[in-house]
Structure 1
Amino acid sequence: MLFLSLALRNLRRHRVRSVLATVGIIIGVVAIASLGIVGASLSALVGGMVADVSDTVLVTPHLAISSGDPFDPRNTLAARISDETVRLVERAAGQHRVIPMILASDRVRIRDTEGYVTVYALQSDDIPFLIEREAGLYPQARSPGVMVGALLAEEFDLHPGSRIEVGGESVRVAGVAAERGMGIDINPDYALIVTEEWYAARHGSQEYSRVVVKVGDLAAIEGVKDAIDQQVNRRRDVVDVLDSREILELYYETFDAINIFLLGIGAVSLFVASVSILNVMIISVTERTAEIGLMRSIGVTRRQVLLMFLYESLILGVAGSLVGGIISVAVGYYVSASVAEFFTDFAVSGSAGMLGPAVAGYVAFGMAFGVAASIVAGLYPAWSAAQKNPIEALRYE
C-alpha cells in the first residue's frame, strides 16, 4: 500500500500531465466500445432483415461480373429472367410455389408530394402468398387499382378508395398491405404492389427481375436449389440461386470484416494514448531519478520500484477506462435506441434487445484493452527505473 500511495502522490503532483494521459485512454476506450457497438448494431439489423424468410429461395439473373450476392451493386445492370427460364424454375421446384416478379420504379404524386416509388409487379394470384392485406382488396388482373405499402399509406394517410397519381395517371388505391418488414424477397412497406397485367398495359411486356420460390418444407431447400441449378444452368450460368441463410452468412461475413476494421480504428486511438502514457512515465522516471536512488539506498528492492511505477500507469489506465466505460454505456444505449427506432420505423423483424449483451461486451472489452494498454506502456519506464544503479541515481541532477 505504501508504494500505491507514492504512485498516487506522484500523479497528484503532476495533475495536468496525468489528466491529459487519462483523457487519451478515455477517448480510446470510447472509440473501441462505440465502434464495436455500431458494428454489432449493423449486424443485428441485417439479421432482422432476413430472419423471417428462411423458407425462401431467391433466383436472380446471373452476370459474368457478379459475385452472386443479389444485393451486389453490380447486379443493377439490366439483366432479366425470361419466361422460358421461369418455366424451367417451375419444373425444378415441383410442388413449391414459384413467384416471378418485376422490380421497377415509377414517378408518383400524392397530393402535393411528388417523387419516385418502388413498384413490384406480380401475377395477381401470387400477391397473397407474399403480402398480407391490412385493408381493402388485393389488386386484380382486370382492375386499375393498386396496393400501397403500410408505411407509405401511414405517412400519406392513404386508405382504400384514395386517389394517387402514378406515371402521370390517376389511379385508385385498392388496398393497403400489412407491415411486412424488409426481406430478401420483397420490401413492400414503402412500395406500390401492382398486377403484372396492370404494369404491362402501361410499360409493355417485360422479363422478370427475380423469381421467389416458397419452400413449404425447410429440409427441402437444398434439394430445390440443386434442382433449379441443374435444370436452368445446365449449359451455362443463367441464374444465381441463393436462400436466405446463405445471404445472411454473406452479410455476417461482410459486417464481421467491417467490425474488425472499426475495432482496429479504436485500437489505434488507444495505441496513441498508450504512447502518451509511455511519455508521461519516462518523464516521471527521469524527474525522480534521485528519489529512486535514495529509495534503493535504504533497502527498497528493484521489484518494489518496478511495482511503484507500474501502479502509476495502472491508475491512469483504470481511471481512464472507468470514465470511458461510463461514457461508452451511454453511447451504447443511444446506438441501441437508434437501431430500435429503425426497426420500428421500417418494420424490420427482430429486436434491439439483442444489442444488450453486445453493449456490455464491447464496453468491457474496451475497458480491459485500455487497462492492458496502460500497463504495457508503463512496463519499459518501470523496468528502466528498477534497473538504475543507486549510487549513480543519487548523483543525478
Structure 2
Amino acid sequence: MSIIESFRIALRALSANKLRSILTMLGIIIGVGAVIALMSVGQGVQQMVTEQLQSAGSNLLIILPGKLSDAQPGGGTQRRPANPLTNGDWRAINDPLLTPDLIAAVPEVDGYADVSHGKTTLRLNVTGTNDVFPNVRNYAVQEGRWISPEDIAGQARVVILGSKVAEELFAPGDFPLDQTIRINGIPFRVIAVMEEKGGGGFGSFDNYVFVPFTTAQQRLFPYLRSPRGEPTLSLILAKVVSEDRLDEATAQIENLLRQRHNITFLNEDDFSVINQADILDIFGSIIGVMNLFLGGVAAISLLVGGIGIMNIMLVSVTERTREIGLRKAVGAKRRHILTQFLVEAMVLSLLGGILGMILGFIGAQAIASLSEDLQSVVTLDAILLATGVSTVVGLVFGIFPALRASQLHPIDALRYE
C-alpha cells in the first residue's frame, strides 16, 4: 500500500467522525496557535523596539538612579535602592571639561498628571526637560517653538504637546498654539505641537506633554526631593560624539558620579549608565520570560493533544479490529497496518497544526491591533516549527496505537465482536 493510499484511508476515517476528530485536535490547535502567536508578536515587539531605538540614535546613553543588578532568575532585572540624581549631577555631566566625549546632556523629570482643556481631561506623562532635548532625542517641532533657556530660568508655565495629545485635547480645526490648558489645575500656555513620532502604547512621545524641567520640579512635582531637599531628576540623557566612543563616555560619567556621590571602590554604584544595546537586552529578557511562560502553556496543550490523539487512535483500533483482521487475511503485512494507523495519527495532528497556525495568525493580528505601531511578524521559522511540532506529536503519540494494530493476529481479529 502506498503512502498516498494511506492518506486517503486516513482522511476517510477522520471524516467519518468529524466531531470526534475536531475535539481530538483541540489540544494541538491551542498549542500550535500559542506558538505562532507568541513568536509573531514577540518578533513584532522586538522589531518595533529596535526601530524606536535606532530612530533615537545609537550614540545615546541613559543615566538612571539606582543600580540595575545582573539578570535575575527568570531573565528579569532589578533596580537596587537609588541615591537620587540632582541638577548638580546633570550640570557636572554636561560640563565638556569633565566629559569631553559628550555632545550634550539633558535632564528629565517625569511624572503623571491630569491634563485638561475644556471638558476633556487626560492622565498623561509629563516630561520636564531643557532646550536641547529635541537634538538629543532626534525629535522635531511641527508647529511653534521648543523650550528656551529663558523659559527654564523663569520656570515658565509653557507646554509642548505630543501629536496625539493635541488631537485628543483640541477639536479638528481648533489651532492649539497660544491656547491655555491646565496641568493638575495649573494654567499653561501651549507653545508647540510635536511631529508624530510613533511607538504606539510602548512609551510613545506622541502621548507626552513637555514643560521646562524647572517648572516640573517647582510647580508640578515639588515632592520629588533628595534627602537634603534638592530637586531630583528621573534620569539624564547623554549624547555621545560617536558610537565608537560609548565606552569612553560611559567611563567618564561613571567616574564623575562616583566622585560626586562619594562612592569608594569598595562600594557598589548607586546609579546605572545604559546604552541602546542594554535596553534591547532588557527587552529581550522580558520577552524571554513571556516565551517561557507561554511556551509552557503551549507544551501542556500539545501534551494533552498528543494524549488525545493516542486515546482516539486506540479507540479506532478497537472499532476496526475486524477490518484489520480482514486486511491481514488477504495479504496485508504488519508494516502496512503500522503505516496506515501512523499516517492517520499524523494527519490528525497536522490538520490540528494547520488550524492552529490559522488561529495563531488571527490571534497575533488581534494583539497587534491594540497598538498602531506594533505589527505581528510571521517568520518562516515559526511556520516550520509549528509544522515540525505537529508532525512529531502525531508520530510519537501514534506509534503505540499503530504498533498495537499491527500486532493483532488475523484470526483473533476476525473473531472480535
Same fold (TM over 0.5): yes
CA separation in 1, counterparts of 2:27 and 2:130?
A: 61
Question: Do the aligned partners of 2:142 and 2:192 also contact (CA within 8 Å) in 1?
Answer: yes
CA separation in 1, counterparts of 2:133 and 2:240?
A: 14
**Aligned pairs for 1:185-334 within 5 A:** 188-202=205-219, 206-233=231-258, 234-235=263-264, 236=267, 237-334=269-366
**1:265 deviation in Å?**
1.4
Aligned to 1:134: 142
Extract unaligned runs of 5+ from structure 2.
223-229
Structure 2 residue corresponding to 1:102, chosen from 109, 121, 141: 109
CA separation in 1, counterparts of 2:218 and 2:300?
A: 59
Note if 1:374 corresponds to 2:394.
yes
CA separation in 2, counterparts of 1:306 and 1:321?
A: 22
**Aligned pairs for 1:141-156 within 5 A:** 141=151, 142=154, 143-156=156-169
Relative distance call for 1:122 and 1:15 in structure 2 (3 A) is closer
The one-letter amino acid paired with 1:67 is: S
* Paired residue secondary structure (2:244): helix
Q: Deviations over 1:251-298 (max 9, x none)?
A: 113203312432331232222122111111111212333333333333
Question: Do the aligned partners of 2:69 and 2:80 also contact (CA within 8 Å) in 1?
Answer: no
Q: Which runs of 4+ in 1 moved over 6 A?
A: none
Give the percent of matched residue pairs that are identical in Structure 1 and Structure 2.
26
Q: Deviations over 1:350-392 (max 9, x none)?
A: x73xx4443x543443233223212222111101121233344
**1:52 deviation in Å?**
2.0
* Paired residue secondary structure (1:189): helix
Question: Do the aligned partners of 2:31 and 2:298 also contact (CA within 8 Å) in 1?
Answer: yes
Q: Deviations over 1:290-348 (max 9, x none)?
A: 33333333332111110111122122223333333344444444445x16x521xxxxx
**1:13 deviation in Å?**
4.2
Question: Do the aligned partners of 1:62 and 1:68 also contact (CA within 8 Å) in 2?
Answer: no
Aligned to 1:45: 48
> Which piece of structure 1 moves more, 247-256 or 90-99?
90-99
Query: TM-score under structure 1 normalisation?
Result: 0.83
> Which piece of structure 1 moves more, 321-330 or 259-268?
321-330
More helix by share: 1
Aligned to 1:348: none
CA separation in 2, counterparts of 1:42 and 1:311?
A: 38
The one-letter amino acid paired with 1:62 is: G
**1:110 deviation in Å?**
1.2
Aligned to 1:176: 193
CA separation in 2, counterparts of 1:60 and 1:86?
A: 11
CA separation in 2, counterparts of 1:129 and 1:51?
A: 13
CA separation in 2, counterparts of 1:107 and 1:296?
A: 80
Aligned to 1:342: 372
CA separation in 2, counterparts of 1:17 and 1:200?
A: 66
Relative distance call for 1:251 and 1:393 in structure 2 (3 A) is same
Relative distance call for 1:240 and 1:286 in structure 2 (3 A) is same
Relative distance call for 1:45 and 1:76 in structure 2 (3 A) is farther
Note if 1:86 corresponds to 2:90.
yes
Q: How many residues of Structure 1 are paired with residues of Structure 2 in the alignment?
A: 379
Note if 1:26 corresponds to 2:58.
no
The one-letter amino acid paired with 1:173 is: V
CA separation in 2, counterparts of 1:4 and 1:182?
A: 48
**1:201 deviation in Å?**
4.9
Question: Do the aligned partners of 1:99 and 1:122 also contact (CA within 8 Å) in 2?
Answer: yes
Aligned to 2:66: 62
CA separation in 1, counterparts of 2:108 and 2:99?
A: 16
Question: Do the aligned partners of 2:197 and 2:205 also contact (CA within 8 Å) in 1?
Answer: yes
Q: Deviations over 1:4-35 (max 9, x none)?
A: 44444443444443343244433433233223
**1:206 deviation in Å?**
1.0
Note if 1:111 corresponds to 2:98.
no
> Which piece of structure 1 moves more, 22-31 or 264-273?
22-31
The one-letter amino acid paired with 2:64 is: T
Question: Do the aligned partners of 2:161 and 2:208 also contact (CA within 8 Å) in 1?
Answer: yes
Aligned to 1:347: none
Relative distance call for 1:110 and 1:98 in structure 2 (3 A) is same
CA separation in 1, counterparts of 2:54 and 2:115?
A: 31
Relative distance call for 1:68 and 1:151 in structure 2 (3 A) is farther
Query: TM-score under structure 2 normalisation?
Result: 0.79
Question: Do the aligned partners of 1:50 and 1:182 also contact (CA within 8 Å) in 2?
Answer: no
* Paired residue secondary structure (1:93): coil
Extract unaligned runs of 5+ from structure 1.
344-350
* Paired residue secondary structure (1:109): strand
Aligned to 1:346: none
> Which piece of structure 1 moves more, 264-273 or 11-20?
11-20
Relative distance call for 1:106 and 1:73 in structure 2 (3 A) is farther
Question: Do the aligned partners of 1:56 and 1:243 also contact (CA within 8 Å) in 2?
Answer: yes
**1:200 deviation in Å?**
4.7
